[in-house]
Amino acid sequence: MNGEGVINGNDNEVETIRHYHPGICHTCATRPSPTTSLKRCAQCQLVLYCSKQCQKKDWLIHKPLCQVQASLEGKNGVTSAEKKVNSNMNRFEARTLRRMQVRCKLGRPLKGYENEIFLFPRVCEICCEGDPSKMIECFKCRSVFYCSDEHYSEDDERHKKWCDAFNLCIGCDVLEYRLGVDSIPFPICIDDKYKALPGTIKEHLTSMLDMVSIPVGYLLEKDLFLILMSERLTYPLSVLYALQQIKIGPSQRDISKVTELTIHVVGAESTIEMLGIIRWEYLAHILPALQKLHVVFVGPQVFSVSDLDDPVPDNHCLDDSGMTLCEDCQVKGRAIVYEMCQMLYHEYVAASYSTRPDAIVAFNCGFHEFHGDKIDTWPESLKLMIQDSETPLIFTSYTEKEAMKDLHVLQEMGEVDVIIPRHMNPYQSLRPHRDPAKEDGADLFYVNRFITCVRATK
């Protein structure tokens, strides 16, 4: 990690990977030993460092936020603001509001890790007290804090369920920060016979470990490497996991025999994520019969670059250059086409270039999230996503409750048959992420955790 906090000399990348964790040094991401403690920035009290050198290194980057925070809330601002948060019913909303105030005053969107500074403050889990002299922390994960022994024991049983996941979360975040987001290679193993996926993503990836050259930085951290790999491959693998269980298209083919496959990924977040990080080509490697893979990403934010809204030249573009294809796919004359459409799905369906999909997928879909709300953009699109009795709609949700609600929304839109009932997705990501809203009482979440598949009733 260099002084500017910039990795690979690219400013955009660092935003997607730098994280804030209240229990580790904000600059070098070192976990303090049990006998040492971190020092807070005296002016804003928001960030902590292991040493003067680390604080100095970060100062130029931290300064604007630090000054804004100090001017908004003054000394001990965090403690008093968090006390207000505690008296507020919804901590997440109150913290989001503070974040917005800082954003306004700063005059620019906050970066990912700056948001996390406000969302995961170093305060008591139970009462939000932030007085540094009182803080006790869980020394195993360094992710939760308490003002007193009473509050520590009050939360003990609950926290034990999440402690390991917090540890993995820090482990993944720090490693990815040090080595870069694009440091995870994907296994180049080309199957010549179709092998059905094993029971879990962990089994599948473990069997692949020999076919991937693990970068030096990950050699001592193979578990974390596997977890980071699962985060990238959960997308294509969840699709395959579902398609393995159903027949494809009008001629009802088995996925292992399909030579051309078109997938619509609806509600796709950003191209960086969908193309830069997730490796769709992997599907071709484990589907030997596949000659052409066409993945269409449709969503209002497909071209957005994290928080920076760069003007987009065109809302539709197609990449069939095959530039990134591996040698083997090139030799086999495979075509892999990526199409990016920055628009809502019903707008895409109306466009002249729209194609008919073999499957429609919505990852971590949140169909229910704004249901009944005027700003909800899903309803018009959803109707079109469940209009064809031959095209399955596969969707994933963060929690079982959400999965239930998501299905419910679809059932209100039209008549559907549930062809794969909601269940915990064995091809979900293994990487835990902290949930600032702690939805359904969960401190951390996993992408693609629940999976469901439906089709319009014939």
CB 279, CB 233: distance < 8 Å: yes
Sequence-distant (≥ 6) Cβ neighbours of residue 334 within 8 angstroms: 284, 290, 291, 292, 293, 322, 325
- Report d(CA 404, CA 422) in Å as an integer: 8
Q: How far is CA 125 from CA 21, 350, 442, in A?
A: 15, 50, 14
Q: Is 444 in the site for Zn ion (CB under 5 A)?
A: no
- Contact pick of 38, 66, 243, 302 for Zn ion (by CB under 5 A): 66
Q: How far is the CB of 330 from Zn ion (least distance, A)?
A: 8
Closest CA to 365 of 235, 238, 267, 241: 267
Closer residue to Zn ion in complex, CB, 127/335: 127
CB 114, CB 61: distance < 8 Å: no
Q: Is 240 in the site for Zn ion (CB under 5 A)?
A: no
- Contact pick of 129, 273, 339, 443 for Zn ion (by CB under 5 A): 129
Sequence-distant (≥ 6) Cβ neighbours of residue 201 within 8 angstroms: 230, 233, 234, 237, 426, 427, 428, 429, 430
Q: Read off φ and ψ for residue 37, nearest 5 degrees.
A: -130, 165
Region from 27-35, 197-205, 294-302, 362-370 binding Zn ion, contact rule CB under 5 A:
27-35
Residue 323 structure tokens: 């530039």
- Contact pick of 7, 14, 24, 25 for Zn ion (by CB under 5 A): 25
Q: How far is the CB of 88 from Zn ion (least distance, A)?
A: 16
DSSP assignment of 95-118: HHHHHHHHHHHHTSPPPHHHHHHH
| Count of residues that interact with Zn ion, criterion CB under 5 A | 23
Closer residue to Zn ion in complex, CB, 293/302: 293
Q: Read off φ and ψ for residue 193, nearest 5 degrees.
A: -125, 145
Q: Residues 155-194: x/- map of binding to Zn ion (CB under 5 A)? A: --------x-------------------------------
- Contact pick of 151, 204, 368, 431 for Zn ion (by CB under 5 A): 151
Region from 13-21, 75-83, 99-107, 277-285 binding Zn ion, contact rule CB under 5 A:
277-285
Closest CA to 99 of 88, 122, 83, 115: 115
Closer residue to Zn ion in complex, CB, 63/222: 63
Closer residue to Zn ion in complex, CB, 283/410: 283
CA angle, 12 then 17 then 18, to 5°: 100
Closer residue to Zn ion in complex, CB, 322/414: 322
Sequence-distant (≥ 6) Cβ neighbours of residue 331 within 8 angstroms: none
Closer residue to Zn ion in complex, CB, 63/401: 63
In 174-212, which positions are buried (b, 16+ CB within 10 angstroms) versus exposed (e)?
Answer: bbbbebbbebbbbbbebeeeeeeeeebbeebbeebeeeb
Q: How far is the CB of 115 from Zn ion (least distance, A)?
A: 16
Q: Is 127 in the site for Zn ion (CB under 5 A)?
A: yes
Compute the residue count for the chain: 458
Q: Is 124 in the site for Zn ion (CB under 5 A)?
A: yes
- Contact pick of 28, 212, 419, 456 for Zn ion (by CB under 5 A): 28
Closer residue to Zn ion in complex, CB, 73/129: 129
Closer residue to Zn ion in complex, CB, 116/402: 116
Q: How far is the CB of 75 from Zn ion (least distance, A)?
A: 11
Q: Is 43 in the site for Zn ion (CB under 5 A)?
A: yes
List residues binding Zn ion (CB under 5 A).
Answer: 25, 27-28, 30, 41, 43-44, 50, 54, 66, 124, 126-127, 129, 138, 140-141, 147, 151, 163, 281, 326, 329
